[in-house]
Chains A and B, each alone.
Chain A
Amino acid sequence: MNLRGARAIYTFELSRWFRTLTQSIMAPVISTSLYFVVFGSAIGSRMSSVDGVSYAAFIVPGLIMLSLLTESVSNASFGIHMPKWSGTIYELLSAPVSWWEAVAGYVGAAATKSVLLGLIMLATARIFVPYHIAHPAMMAAFLVLTAISFSLFGFIIGVWADGWERLQIVPTLIITPLTFLGGSFYSVAMLPPLWRHITLFNPVVYLVSGFRWSFYAHADVPVGLSLAATAGFMIACLIVVWRIFATGYKLKP
């Protein structure tokens, strides 16, 4: 086992992030603040509470989930696409590093960034909204599990994409619509019946619902189902990543 190899990738990836730490922190702090000023205070003050929670507080978990998904996918896809594009991937491929060691390094670093970002947003939200967290351990579990799952997904996209344009396609065309339609800003119960059924095919609904449950102990779908959906997605991504390395898809001719 080459744990040193995995650690080398992990610290290398994180140090890239720390070099631009100010931007990395400022971006989510500013975007969270804007969301809360607009949706929380300006619009939210005119809206009735949802499921017994003020609208501003209601959108906290959804907003964090939204950023967590987007950041995880973009961090991880960038992390592996960059060496593929610049050619430095030769080193990874010629090193005594197994597929899961490489994944632990790249995906671990991407997920770490996302989790830290989520926590920063959580802290920022506190300035605007008094929220409470009913199940902190479950909240942390959802945060970490989602970060890992979507970093894995981002890793797959990063390997698959043949150029920077394609790298953007999946996040723009799939992730963003799914997150916006995934109940970040509304409760599924608020939708017309037909849409309520259609929306249940959106995996993000389960993530947002489970995450919100860990805050307010109220969910659109059973929390066990949320957890199972997230874990299922993670396992599916792991299998794909394992096959990528086993076959050398888009990595080894």
Chain B
Amino acid sequence: MSKVAPPILSARGVAKTYASGVVALSPTDLEIRAGEIFALLGPNGAGKTTLISIICGLVNASAGTVTVGEFDNVRDWRAARGLIGLAPQEIATDAFESVWATVTFSRGLFGKPRDDAYLRRLLEDLSLWDKKSAKIMALSGGMKRRVMIAKALAHEPRILFLDEPTAGVDVELRRDMWALVRRLRDSGVTIILTTHYIEEAEEMADRVGVINKGRLILVEDKAVLMEKMGKRQLTIQLQAPLRALPDDLAGYRLELANEGHQLIYSFDAKGDETGIAGLMRGLHAAGLDFKDIQTSQNSLEDIFVGLVGVGA
């Protein structure tokens, strides 16, 4: 996955200032590798949708260029757009149309010849085939979202944009959606999804881009990101609460938590010496008994909060 291949999509210096003067996106560079799942992570209003909208042609960029495949999305807009499928954040469908009518429309709109076999497979993959004649308004929210994805995939794009695919979707459906996204990736589609659920990026993405206040703060392999920034913590449940740290243990990065019932020790998991053994001996020497210990890895959430800043 991390082998160097020409990017399937690249944005260079892409920026957007709306007519109102609002700077939605500062000049941004981004490269997407073929076949990856890329998660664009950021709070609401960070510029995720603006960036996607520029790439898909829904918003005119104030500056910069976007190349899709080998096509410039302004000069060779037809070829560039043909490679992209977009499932927007808002569920917007023609409520009175049937599922089948709407996916055939989408395919036709993108200039692809009719292919009922492909559309059938697509609907089957999305568990929509038995609903093909149903009117969209009669479908559940989760199904409507899958219809949006079916429409986005109707013309066999190579890149799929999923803007907040699980916003307002319950936990179970979210897991289904994740499974679906993985299946799509396995079928060879490059996927770019935006989310403000860190869990989602952590669960699915190969690479993560963090965007905040119109700036792409960082782009990193998820594993590298977690490793680079991921501290580990050792939590020790004490038998009896402590008022203060014993002097013997002053050399360790320790914190008292939960009103003295817990000792939390932070360490670098990549280091040769984690210091755990020494700490254990120190606890013993200080005569501290404990009933439970556990280690945990920093989640992407901690990293994210660290980057974006709490309450920012």
A-side residues, CB < 8 A to B, are 2-5, 7-9, 11-12, 15-16, 19, 86-88, 90-98, 248, 252-253
Contact = CB atoms under 8 A, between A and B. Distances in A.
Contact of A93 (B57, B106, B111): B57
A14 to B, nearest CB: 12
Contacts, number: 74
Nearest to A88: B92
A15 B97 CA distance: 10
B119 to A, nearest CB: 13
Interface of B: 18-19, 56-60, 77-79, 81-82, 84, 86, 88, 90, 92-96, 101, 104-113, 151
A86 B60 contact: no
Given A19-B96, A94-B81, 18 more contacts: A2-B110, A8-B105, A11-B108, A86-B92, A86-B95, A88-B93, A90-B86, A91-B86, A91-B109, A91-B151, A93-B58, A94-B86, A95-B109, A96-B78, A96-B79, A97-B109, A253-B59, A253-B60
A95 B110 contact: yes
B101 A15 contact: yes
A103 to B, nearest CB: 14
B50 to A, nearest CB: 9
Nearest to B111: A2
B91 to A, nearest CB: 8
A92 B96 CA distance: 18
29 contacts: A4-B108, A4-B112, A4-B113, A5-B109, A5-B110, A5-B111, A8-B105, A8-B108, A9-B109, A12-B105, A15-B101, A86-B93, A87-B90, A88-B92, A90-B58, A90-B88, A90-B92, A91-B86, A91-B106, A94-B57, A94-B81, A96-B81, A96-B111, A252-B58, A252-B59, A252-B60, A253-B18, A253-B19, A253-B60
A88 B86 CA distance: 12
Contact of A92 (B82, B95, B101, B109): B109
A94 B101 contact: no
A96 B60 contact: no
Which residue of B81, B104, B106 has the most chain A CB atoms within 10 A of its CB atom?
Answer: B81
